[in-house]
Structure 1
């Protein structure tokens, strides 16, 4: 191709425009080769197998046995053990796939309790928030508000449940009691919390954008090009329930260069070449307390986000880039080998050891399936008995 372009005498700016046009039409950053396919399949099988065995062997211990004594320590154990597994994903993105993750905006502190708002450009946005959370020591404490159908995914549905993600039907009449009940369980200030919310409610497409623009025009709202009009009720419910226990709200804007990736693009390492994450830390006192004013504040934030994404398209970067620590290759390898080694041990115990391990696996499978299907988490029975005993003694 380059030879034919050169023979026609096309100027350099013409070549650049042609390259930009091809990328905007969906050309992959890297070619999908047989090696990439095989490597991607190997990575995906490893991730699924390690997730399955760790959930089967460890989840009942952290989310059932330990939770009977303490919700706080149950969450800490779950965060630590399964946060190590989650760190395999940033390792895949940044070290194996060689995707550059570029941060800009505010340098945020570690281990804050925050509500995180992000645009939803594609189906894998939420995975790249793990790269930020890992650097801030909150990878195991990040929780998402996601559509309920995702809980039906094999293996991952179990993981979404033990991490206490909030599943919604995207019908407010159905979702409001579920959200309030779930949010009430996150008020303990001793528990680090990153509650991630995508206010658009769905990922961005041109067709959805046209519908959003029509709705905005009919209701006197800003006409947005790069994001959808945000749904405000979920945001207001989160603020109402958690305002007194949060440190800040993070307004996160995610952009890709040059093509929005699909899940398979991530697995095979063909896209994205760069992920740009812009963070603005907003103290709670700057956000209105009334629902109407908070809703207007959120819509204004998305108007600014839309402008920022337009500028990114023109410039290729967000302003005020900051330096975040790079992931240590050695630490990533140690964690990966630790997870793989643990998985190998669990597989050996299941296949070649005592019959009781097989019984435990069957019990664990049934337990995870049941609690995920019925969306329940065990309560700390012993503390309830103690409080009941104390109340009777006072009487």
Structure 2
């Protein structure tokens, strides 16, 4: 009986957040759609300001679960963000949690509503959110796909490509691709302050034999299977980034060589004092509950209120159905 109760509680750690995050999606989309219509004849800056605020509310609710309900510790190293800046965020890609890590940094700079992503093309077909997220950018994962130690063919192909190109072969990251980074930088260089080169390591992803395992999935993370996230930040002023694509390609690979050395130290160091940490001092960054709890209460409260009436339930279901269909039609036209 006790074991059954423990297993039930363990599963709820994942099911409840997933239900809330997905369940509030129609509420968010309805609010965004209503504002989109109301702001049609207003200057674009008014639409953007409210859109950023709505986005901040939803992402803050996401972080309510990931930072306050999982017991995770966030350890920051390097150039700790202080002031809000216009940046491109470059990071290694290991898990479905990686976009949450970008939010973790952004909320500490009061910039959460401004975060945008470069996503895989297939993700634009996500119900409700696909057409919305597909417009977004700034957060870039140059590897193009997730690094997973179990996908040996992907890693081997990446290393073979690097060798053929005359580039150093990387161990804990994949060979980065230049296109998205170059396009983003070229389009935004007049507005940028810097690039944040971010290296992320999830503690507890090395087995008893010293072999690296896959990073935790979103479900595993919510079930408290990741005690610490280590985040190393290098702030690079935009003037130090080469603009021509051929030179930027070499520069980007050099940045990933640095990431690889950091991760080799983190995962493979024979010195126990140096393993499971990045060089330098770390800051244990705890997020205040007041930054996330109000968003959780607002979205879940409005959604619950909608579902308590028959008209609200019909609107809720129709938003799921028609919102998804219209979103898919929209991205099909844009494609």
TM-score (norm 2): 0.84
> What is the aligned counterpart of 1:53 among 6, 10, 27?
27
CA distance in structure 2 between the aligned counterparts of 1:233 and 1:158, rounded to whole angstroms = 22
Query: Residue in 2 aligned with 1:366?
Result: 322
Q: What is the aligned partner in structure 1 of residue 232 from structure 2?
A: 278
Residue of structure 2 in register with 1:138 after alignment: 111
8 Å contact kept, 1:48–1:155: no
Partner residue of 2:186? 240
User: CA separation of 1:258/1:68 partners in 2, compared to 1, >3 Å: closer, same or farther?
Assistant: farther
Could you tell which deviates more after superposition, 200-209 or 327-336? Answer: 327-336
What is the CA-CA distance between 1:76 and the residue it aligns to?
Answer: 1.6
Q: Which runs of 5+ in 1 are unaligned?
A: 1-31, 167-194, 378-395
Evaluate the alpha carbon distance shift between residue 111 and residue 205 of structure 1 in structure 2; reply closer, same or farther with a 3 A threshold: same
Q: Contact 2:242–2:251 at 8 Å: present in 1 too?
A: yes
Matched residues, number: 311
Pairwise CA RMSD of aligned residues?
2.6
Q: Alignment partner of 1:245: what SS?
A: coil
Q: How does 1:1-395 map to 2 (within 5 A)?
A: 33-55=7-29, 57-161=30-134, 164-165=135-136, 195-206=138-149, 207=152, 208-259=154-205, 260-267=215-222, 269-313=223-267, 314=269, 315-323=275-283, 326-348=286-308, 351-352=310-311, 362=318, 366=322, 369-375=325-331
**Partners of 1:157 and 1:42 in 2: how far apart?**
23
Q: Aligned partners of 2:43 and 2:323: how far apart in 1?
A: 19
| TM-fit CA distance, 1:272 | 1.3
Give the conservation status (yes or no) of the 8 Å contact 2:142–2:178. yes
SS of 2:117's partner is strand
Question: 2:118·2:180 contact (CA, 8 Å) conserved in 1?
Answer: no
When Rg is computed on C-alpha atoms for both structures, the one with the higher figure is 1
Query: What secondary structure does 2:293 align onto?
Result: helix
Q: Deviations over 1:234-255 (max 9, x none)?
A: 2111111111111111000011
Separation in 1, partners of 2:111, 2:328: 23
Q: Name the SS of the counterpart of 1:87 in structure 2.
A: helix
| Larger helix proportion of the pair | 1
Distance 1:328 1:376, change over 3 A: farther
Aligned partners of 1:257 and 1:273 also within 8 Å = yes
Tell me: CA distance 1:148–1:310, structure 2 relative to 1, closer, same or farther (3 Å).
same
Structure 1 stretches of 4+ with a deviation exceeding 6 A read none
Say whether the 8 Å CA contact 2:32–2:54 is kept in structure 1.
no
* Structure 2 spans left out of the alignment, 5+ residues: 1-5, 206-214, 270-274
